[in-house]
Structure formats: C-alpha cells, structure tokens
Chain A
Amino acid sequence: MSPVPFRSVRFRSVRSQGRARQRWSWLLALVVLAAAPVCGQVEEQDLDVDQPVISADIERLFQDATALFETADQANTIPLFTQVVDALLPLAGAGESAIDERLRASLLYRARAEFNFGDNAAAERDFETLLRLAAEFEIDRDQIAGRLAELFDRTRQRLIGYVEFLVVPDGAELWVQQRRFSPRQGPQPILTGSYVAEARKPGYLPSSLPFEVIAGETRTVEAALDRTSAVLVLRTRPTDATIVIDGVERGRTQGQADADFVPRGDAGAHPRADFSALLMIDELALGSRTVEVRKTGFRTFTTRVDVPELRDIPLEPILLQRESGTVLLSRLPADAEVLLDGKRVRPIVAGSGPAQLTLLPGSYQLQVTRGSFGVFETAVDVVDRESVDVTVELRPALVVLGVLGGDQVSADRLRSGLFDEFQLLGSWSLLDRAATAAPLLAELGLDAPRLRARSPGSAAAGANAPDWSAIQKTFYQRLPGSVYLLTVLSNDVMATEADLWIWPAPPGPSRPEVRSVVVEDREALKRLATAFVPSIGQRRPVIGADFLDSALAAGPVVARVRPGGPADQAGLLVGDQVTAVGGVPVFSTADLRREIATHEAGETVALETQTNGNLHRVELATGRSFVVADLADPDIVYSALTAALAAELQKVSDWPRWVLELNLAGIVLRSGDNEAAVERLRRIETTAVPTLDQSGLGRAQIDYWLGLALTRAGTRFRDPARDAFARAASSAEGRLEWDEGPWIAPRARARLERLGAGGGAP
C-alpha cells in the first residue's frame, strides 16, 4: 500500500511576513508532520489507494513553499519541498498528471533553492531525478539562471540519448517499456541503457527491435512489418457496439474518436464525441464477409464486405439507428396531458394528422388526462418499426380511493362488487387509486371512525366536520379525476353496510354525497352505477297542456291549455279527456306522459279525445323543452351529473350554454354553497338575458333559485332575495325544471311571503 500520510492533517498556514512567525510555523509543521503517520494510520481505511491524489495538506504545503520561495527566503523552502517530494515520489508515474506535475515543480524549485545556496550537487541530483522521471523534461530557460541551465544541460548530456524510429507500414504502433512512441517523429530522448522496441499493427506480424541508447548520441531504429491478414477498420455511433463477422463476435467499439477524426457525410450531423475510436479487426479471411453491428436498443446494422486481398478494409462511420415504434394518438385534445408510465411526454403534432409518440420498443401504460373533464387509460405495446393506432376517448374518471374499515372480507367483497358494476359503464374511466390514496387520506385525517361519525345516520353527524373544500382540492391536484369515491364500512369487525362518499372535482360542489349500501346488495350497486350515467342532452317533448286524473274520467283530463301552445293549436280544450296517444290507450296522466315521451321532441302525435261523449282525433305537433335536473331526486348522483355537465360544456353542444350552466348552478345550490350558486346564477343572468324567455323554463327559474340562494346565504341578502322572488312571482308562465314543470309563481309568492313576514333565512 502506498502511504499517503498527509490527507487528514490540519495544517496551519505558514504564509507570513515575519521570520519569527515563520519559525513558529516550521515548528508547528514539524510537530504535525511527526504526528502525521499516526493520523494516517487512523484514516487509512478511508483512502482509495488505487486512485492516488494530492491531499489537501500536501497541496497547501506546496503552495506555502512556492509563496515562501518568492520571498527570497528560499533556504526554508527546501525542507518543505522535500516533504512534498517525499510524499509524491512514490506515486509518480501512475498516470496521475497532477501528481507528476507537482512533483516535477517541487524538484525544480528545490533544485533552484539548492543551487542558489551553493549546493550544486544536490541540485544536480534533483535534475537527475527529474530526467529519470521524464527524459523529455525541459526547463524554462527564461525563468532560471543561466548557470543553473548549464548544470541542467550537463546532467541531461550525461543521462539522455536520442532514438529515431522508422517503421513500415504507417500507423504501426511502437512500444518501449510500456511507453508508446510515434514512428517518424524525429529523434526522441530516452535514458541511456538497453531496450527492446515492440512494433505492431493489426494484420501484420509484430516485430521486436533491440537497441542501445548512449548518452549524447542519436541512433536510428528501423523495422518493416510483414502483412499477415486483411483488417476491417470501422468506428460506430454510438460506441460500445458489438461487431459480428459471419456470425462470430469479433470485437466491440470503445472509447472516443481521436481529435483528427472529422465526421463527414451522414456522420457530419453528429458531433465527433458521439463516435467510438477506430476498431481494427484483423485475421479477416478473404472473400465476402457479412458484418453485423449490434447494440441493445438499436437496430442491427448489417453489411457485406468484400475482402479481395490482404489489406485494410476501411468502412464509413456506422450510424446505428435506435429501435422505435410510433404511437398515433387520434382525437387527442390539444390541451390534454399525456403520461407514459406516469411520466409526462409531449407528442408531436404534424399538420392535421394525429399526434405521434416515437418510443423504444416495450410495453407502456398510456394515460391521457384533461383536468376534470376526462381521463383515458390504455396499455400500449410498441414494436420496432411499427405504429400503433390509439383513439383517445376521454371519459370522465371515477377515482376509487379505496375502502376504509377493518373488516377485510366485507371490504374485498364491496370492492369487487363496485368494480364489477362500474366497469360495465362504458362512459366512465374507472381508476383504482386505493394504494396512492392511502397516505393522502391519512394526511388529510380522513379515517373510518371520523367519517362514520359524520355519516348522516350517525349520532355525531353535526360535529367535527372535515374541511371538504381542502380535501376536494388536494385529491384533484394529486389524483386528477372527475369524481371521487371513498367507501367506509359501518364497522371494523363484521360490516354489513357501508357508506359511499362521493364528490366531484373542482369547480363542482365540495360537499360530498353519501349513499348507504348493503354490502351484499349487488342490485343497489348496480343502481348506483347506473346513476353515474345521467341523461343529459335530451329534450322533452311538450304539448302545452296540463292534465289531471279524475275518478270521473277514464283517462287524463285537460285542466289547462297554454294559449298558442301545441295543444291549443291542435284544438284541445279544457275538460277534454284523452283516451289514446299515437293509437295507444292511456288511462292516466302518467300513461299519457309516458307515451308522449316515446316520441321525439318536435314530432307530430295523434291524440284521441272525448268531449261531452263525442270522440275526436287531433294531430298535435309537439314542442321541445330543455331540462334542468330535479334537485331532490334520490336516484341522481349529482357528482356524476356535475362531471357530465362539465364535459358537455367543453364540447360543441346542441344545448344552449345557459341550460348547462343552470344545471350546474342548481347542483351547487343543492350542495349548500349558496354564494357560489349566486355567482353562477348571476353570470347566467348576465350572459343569457337576451335569449331567455319569461315562459316555461328560463328566467323565472334563475330568479327563483337566485332568491333561494340569497335567502340561504344570510339575512344580509334579504332585500335582493326578495327582489328575485318578486320577479319570479310575477312570471305567470315560468316553470321549474322544464317547460311543463311546476309553476314557479306560487312557490315564489310563498317564499316572498315568508321573507316579508320577517322570517329571514329560513
């Protein structure tokens, strides 16, 4: 083991102006140096002996010595340089140029100091050491005294001779004592002595050349190598490629191209550093050879090489092409985010074609997300030189956050039931995020006991409410999706029931809906899953009449005909009894509505009626009505409806925007976020005023909901609430939910009366 004693020594700087101080420094240095071997032993386990480096202390010692040398107090530098030389000399010639450079500089400095103080013999010894380390060493004659230079020259004259190597063919390598010499480079300095030079080149028989070096003389060593085989000469980009000739592995490209290599042609598009060093493969048999260049992840390069005679066969630099396949993403929205195995990637869109991803061969999990509007997930197998067509079908994503509760059997049963039922929904992406969600749930303090306590049927439902707004935001940021589902078992031992906590992504309402299910009740899960496919985008046919069921009539009786409406135009009268719709007998108003609903909005329907005992048949051209969701329907999952509406808003819909917005506002109102509901309703009011009608679904509903939201928002909004209700109450034809829904005016009057009576927020 090479000792590197000073690595851990804390060495005080001796750089100082005063001599006294320098002496103290010397004393200290000696003490430290004496202690150093001990320290070195302690620390030697930490040293990497295979990679000698100059320790910080030796470097500092060198710097201090050179600084001191410049102060002309050169006598004191000799022991310092001696310490450096003693430390570095054993490490010299190990290929670490910094050590060699510091060692040479120290030897030269010490020689100069010794010479200046008249110790010429010591200086000559240092020069001799220098030249033995490097025969080609030369001093900077401008920096040192002429007499010292003469001493150096004399020492070199005594130790060094010169040899000129002449080897045929060109490019052959010549080695002397593991040192490579370049032929035809003129005479080169070598220490006196006897040597054997080795000349070699692939495809040639190597040759040994003994020679003698005599101090001060120049010798010529000549050799001509005999060709023994043809040689294939090549380099690759990238390096580290395996060369196979006629099926036999013959070599591997390595290293980096020499500085004299200039990439040209196709290779010119790449930097020199990308190319390997030249590889020469000898013993190449004559004839036609198949050469393959292989590298993992790259397409194999194959070529035929004719070897007509024993000579070098150079190939153009070989550019290996990466293996890759293409994934073509059709219908990818411009603002969607694409993730491959969870990492974001940016597809290339060229012209009007589909977006493309060029990928290494392999299996990937592809995910496309577009905020809360939808997620698309699929597995893609990429094969080299092939393209895979993927049609992106963004669907709202139901993010399943897992099952809370200790009863593992029930948890598993419920989980599998949920997945079985929900996977049948073609219009949703079902994302199982239970594993990722677990730490998030813990972070947010959502656990089974707390949520059980918040269950609507629980004794402490009113207390310790979680911050659902923060929960909604956190999950959306960390696990993007459209709707979130968290299941809580009723107990940890043997749970027969569970609560399903469901909430939409922002900006939907942050208050969760809670559905209770019996673990074994697959029908309930099926119903729940079905409720995730809300029917929006449908228009109801309207006939412009109200009906009632009476024991005095066998069918629905016309109670009112809207002036100018379809029924009015068809001649239907109050008191008429409808007996059939489209030829199908009807016995109640429900029958009539059901039959009308089987017709497309706008279609003409035949009604058979009875008036004062006389039978009539009328043709009625139905009208069309938009629909606003019933806010009290237990069969609607409002979170799912929110997601569907948000998605509808993002595309070109045949529904007016205000209808979609009104639906969303209703859901927000239902959730109890009254101020947000007010904001949404006022926005609709502002943007859609010109198109809204006073009759049927429209302005009156906005006013009515505005009144409700303002009333619930607090007593300070009583006046605007009253104004809104007053407007709604004045709308004689305004209806809730659709054009033939409940009249708004009586309800608005009741609400108005309540406010007027000083009730404030009910």
Chain B
Amino acid sequence: MATRTRYRIALWLSAVFLAATAAIGQDESAAQRLLDEGRLHKRNGNPDAALGEYRALVERFPTSRFAPTALLESAQIHFQANRPDRAEAESQRLIDGYVDSVESAAARVLQARVKLAASQSLADLEAARTLLARVANLYGPDRFGSLPARAEARVLGAQASATLGDRGAALSGFLEAMEDEPRGPWTQHAELGMAQTLLAGGEWLSAVQLLQAVVERSDSTGAADVVAQARTLLTAIHRMWIRPAASQPRWTTARRLNLPTLRKPGALAASLKGRVVVGDEASSNLVTIATDGTMATTAATATSKNLGRPWFDPDDRVMVSVAEGVLAESGGRAQTLTSGGDKPKPLGRILAGASGLFGQWFIIDKDLDGVHVFAGGEHRSSLGAASVGAVDVATGADGTVYVLNARPSKVAVFGPSNQLIRSFSSTAEKPLAIDVDALGNVYVLDSGRRAIVVTSSEGAGLQTLGPLLPGGLELRSPEDLAVDGTGRIYVADPKLAVVVVLE
C-alpha cells in the first residue's frame, strides 16, 4: 500500500514538473514570437505596430529573457521617432527592471544619446559624458566580456571629451575602445576619433596609421560614413603635409566648374564630406553638387530676395539665408530670426551664417554688428567685440567658430562655448570670405588681391593663391570661397560666370 502511495506521489510530481517545464517553454516561445513579429513590423516601416508587439511581450511575459530586448527596441523606436521622453522612460524602465542585463547597458547608452541629441551647451555634453562613463564602470570586461554597448559608450564618451577640449580623456577613451574592446563596429569610430584628436595636436603621422587602418578594414566591418571621413582626412593630409614635405605644390591645377544653369555664381559652400552648393545671384537659385558629381537645382529660393551665403550644418544639410529668415535643405518654411534686445525685430539682411555643434546658428546680419548666436530661432547671445566688423563666419569639424573681420583684417577663433580662443591678423587686403578644412586650416578670400590666403588654424601662413592660379586661370572678381574636407578650394567669381576649383 505504502509503495503504491509513493508511486502515485512520484507520478504526480513528475506530471507537475513536466507541466511546469512545458509551460515555461511555451511562454518563451510565445514571447519570442512577439519579438519576431515586432521586428518584422519595424523592418516593414511600421514602428507603431512594432511597439504594440513589444508592449504585449513585456506585459504578458515580464520574466521572459526576451522582455529586456523588447523594452530596448521600444526605446530605440521612440528615439528614432524623435520622442526623447518616451525613449528615456522606456530605457529607465529597462534599467530598473532588468538590472545587470546587457540590454540595460544599451539602455543607459541610449539615455546618453538622448541627452547628447538635446545638448545645447557644454554642460549638457558633460552630463551625457558622465552617463557614458558609468556604463564602462558598471559593465566592465571582467563581468561582461564582450559588450558592444560598452564600446559604444567609450567612443561616444571620448567624442564628448574631444568636444569638451579634454584631449587626454578623448585619446584614452578612444584607445580603450580600440584596445580593450573586441574588434567590432565601434572600433573604426574609435580609430577615426583618435586620429582626429591626434591631428588636432599635429600628430599627423600617427593619425595616418589609424586612418589607414580604418580604410583597409573597410571591406569587413566598415561603416561607410566613417571610412569616407578617413579617406577625406588622408587626402587632406597628403595635400597639406606630405606634398609640401616632398616639395610638391599643395594645389596643382585650377579649373572651371561649368554649371550651365548658373549665370552669376556669387555664393557657395562645401561640406567636409564633399558636397557643394552654389547660389546664383541672377536667378536666386541654389545648385547642389553631390560627391558623385550629380547636380540638382533648388528653386525654393527663387522667389526670395536677399539670398545670402549658404552653409552646411553638421548633418551635411544645406542652410541658406533669405529675406524671410533661414531656409533648410530639408524644406519647409524659412525660420524667422529676430534680433535680441528690448526691441526685437526680424532679421532680413543676413550675409552669412554657420551651424554649431549644438544646432545653434552663428549669424551675420547687416543690421546687427558682429556675430550673433541663435537657437530655435531665438537670439541667445553674440560673440562680442571680437566679432565686430565680421564679414563671414565658418565652423570647423570640432565646433570651433572662425569669424573673418574686414576692418582690421583678422580672424577671430571661438571655442564651443563661444569663448574667444585666439585671433590672428590676416594678410588679406580686402577679406571677403572664410572657410576651414577638415584639418583646421583657414582659407580667406582676399577680393582686394584676388587671392586666397591659406593659414594654419593658428594663423601661420601656408600659401597664397591668386590672382594667377596654378594651371594659368586668373581670378577676376571672386566673391565667395569654400573648401571641402580634402582641401579642394571652390571660388565663386561672378565676372567669370564660373566656379573655379583648385585641386
């Protein structure tokens, strides 16, 4: 009898165990199905439906191993859809609910990205950097081995350090991402970042090695954008350092860029990535030239008056001032800018502008003296006395602002927090336009001498070109100048009715 009872108990326990095991297995399968459905919706361009699947997963199976992944992907969708608050909230839910998970590390990085995207000052950047540093501390290699989120945090943190001017932290951050993390997608970002930081310190030979490494691994793990930047910098180094070292001219020829739709090219800009935009004084049209040479004409400005000088923002979008304000390449209405002070009034005669790292604009208007800073269409500050008499403004890749003053002829350099770092005199007789290449070299257009004056970022003279350019072309009445990342110079000369390109 006792044996029979024991036998029944054993059978019963086995059945309960099997049922529980089966239930757990079924739950995990159902949770994985929801995750897969969500991902399918996301791939098919239906993020809201994806969010629904993810929400269902987390609510029905909060203990599933797929739940943190669902929360993370939800937060990422919100971030991409420009819903930073929701992204922040979902990330926090993940961090609180799934402590020590690898997804929680990614959530912390996402929170930092939200902060970086919303940064309007160095203090915001510093706060984001602190968040990123915590990821490396909380999720160390001793406990987590390979962790892409940690590598990402190190790279983003180092980039923030570079912007904050903390060169040592930037270098070591990039180095840790390169050497202390398994090679992966973030390695090239780190190599590029370190190369850029070394270049800023003049260590171009060490930078060449890192940039070459990025380029040579481009086939396997390369992010196209990173590789393109590396190629651009290598070309710039070749032009600006190696050619002179080999007693070769930096620019060997000048040619006319024939743009049939342009009758009177008067203003232009070039991005570090190689895009060019030219403004036609006759038609008020803008012509953009892509890196592959294809051209497109923008008629949006055709009805506008006072077409100013175009510029590129850090996301490589064209911005241009018109009488109504500032137009963005992405379309929409012009952003009206109003002057500060007691009696604000709309700005209608903007000469030039440039975009800063935090989305702010540096604007020169005929009715305002100096360079003024605008954010979200509102006047925030001015760059002060050092910018009085400014005729053009440009920003470098690191966010440094270069202001060209005509009287006296000088260049004032401002840091990311708009503080004056230095200024140096220009040899230009009648400075008219300024631009900066990827290495921080300064190009000033001297309309008086019909020449281009090239200096280092410190003001050391490197070369003066014009009026007779290599190859025999002569400038007639240059009005604007631009330089792309490789150091290729574009000059708008309305009298020649062409854009001159110096290679």
What is A's interface to B at a CB cutoff of 8 Å?
A: 456-463, 465, 491-493, 514, 546-553, 557, 559-560, 573-576, 588-590, 593, 611-612, 631-634, 672, 708, 742-743, 745-747, 749-751, 753-754, 756-757, 759, 762
Contacts and interface: CB of A to CB of B under 8 A. Distances in A.
Interface in B229-255: 231-232, 234-235, 237-239, 242-243, 245-248
B336 interface: no
B242 to A, nearest CB: 5
Nearest to B68: A459
A546 B216 CA distance: 14
A750 B145 contact: no
A574 B206 contact: no
Contact-size category for B: 35 or more
B182 interface: yes
B60 interface: no
B168 interface: yes
A754 B246 contact: no
A589 B217 CA distance: 12
Given A457-B102, A573-B246, A589-B212, A754 B145 contact: no
Nearest to B252: A552
B100 A575 contact: no
B242 A546 contact: no
Given A459-B103, A460-B101, A632-B179, A491 B28 contact: yes
Contacts of A549: 212, 215, 231, 234
Given A461-B100, A552-B486, A575-B246, 7 more contacts: A461-B101, A461-B102, A491-B25, A557-B242, A560-B205, A590-B215, A749-B171
A64 B247 CA distance: 125
Contacts of A458: 65, 102
Nearest to A749: B171
25 contacts: A456-B145, A458-B102, A459-B65, A459-B68, A459-B102, A462-B144, A491-B28, A548-B212, A549-B215, A550-B242, A552-B235, A552-B238, A553-B238, A557-B238, A560-B205, A574-B242, A588-B216, A589-B212, A632-B183, A672-B141, A742-B213, A749-B171, A750-B172, A751-B175, A762-B176
Given A459-B65, A574-B246, A575-B245, A743 B209 contact: yes
B208 A548 contact: yes
A415 to B, nearest CB: 22
Nearest to B147: A456
A593 B215 CA distance: 13
The 6 A-B residue pairs whose C-beta atoms are closest, nearest first, are A575-B246, A550-B238, A750-B171, A754-B172, A753-B168, A462-B143
Contact of B198 (A457, A462, A746, A762): A746
Nearest to B238: A550
Nearest to B237: A548
Given A548-B234, A557-B238, A762-B172, A459 B98 contact: yes
A460 B235 contact: no
A677 to B, nearest CB: 13
A575 to B, nearest CB: 2
Contacts of A460: 100-101
A747 B28 CA distance: 47
A745 to B, nearest CB: 8
Most buried by A among B28, B168, B235: B168
B147 to A, nearest CB: 7
Interface string B198-215: 100001011011111101
B261 interface: no
Contact of B145 (A514, A612, A762): A514
B182 A634 contact: yes
Contacts of A762: 136, 172, 176, 180
A590 B187 contact: no
B142 interface: yes
B235 A551 contact: yes
A559 B29 contact: no
Contacts of B187: 632
Nearest to B184: A634
Contacts of A632: 178-179, 181-183, 187
Interface string B153-172: 00000000000000011011
B169 A757 contact: yes
A750 B142 contact: no
B146 interface: yes
Most buried by B among A459, A492, A553: A459
Contacts of A465: 143
Interface of B: 25, 28-29, 65, 68, 98, 100-103, 136, 139, 141-147, 168-169, 171-172, 175-176, 178-184, 187, 194, 198, 203, 205-206, 208-213, 215-216, 231-232, 234-235, 237-239, 242-243, 245-248, 486, 503
Contacts of B25: 491-493
A477 B57 CA distance: 47
Nearest to A745: B206
B242 A559 contact: yes
- Tell me the dominant secondary structure on chain A's binding face: loop
Given A456-B147, A743-B209, A750-B175, A548 B102 contact: no
B180 to A, nearest CB: 8
A462 B100 contact: yes
Contacts of B102: 456-459, 461
A575 B247 CA distance: 9
Contacts of B178: 632
Contacts of B136: 762
B160 to A, nearest CB: 16
B172 A753 contact: yes
Given A589-B216, A742-B209, A751-B175, A548 B238 contact: yes
A329 B144 CA distance: 48
Contacts of B211: 548
Contacts of A553: 238
Nearest to A556: B212
Nearest to A672: B142
A631 B235 contact: no
Contacts of A611: 246
B337 to A, nearest CB: 37
B172 A550 contact: no
A535 to B, nearest CB: 18
Contacts of B175: 747, 750-751
A547 B212 contact: yes
Contacts of A548: 208, 211-212, 234, 237-238, 242
Nearest to A755: B172
Contacts of B242: 548, 550, 557, 559, 574-575
Nearest to B168: A753
A556 to B, nearest CB: 9
A725 to B, nearest CB: 11
A77 B375 CA distance: 129
A162 to B, nearest CB: 76
A753 B198 CA distance: 14
Given A457-B102, A459-B103, A754-B169, A746 B206 contact: yes
A457 B106 CA distance: 12
A553 B213 CA distance: 18
A633 B172 CA distance: 20
Nearest to B206: A746
Contacts of B243: 552, 575
Contacts of A575: 242-243, 245-248
A353 to B, nearest CB: 51
A576 B100 CA distance: 54
Contacts of A756: 168
Nearest to A742: B209
Contacts of A753: 168, 171-172
A726 B254 CA distance: 48
Most buried by A among B29, B146, B238: B238
Most buried by B among A491, A559, A742: A559
B169 A463 contact: no
Contacts of B486: 551-552
Given A459-B102, A559-B208, A633 B248 contact: no
B203 to A, nearest CB: 6
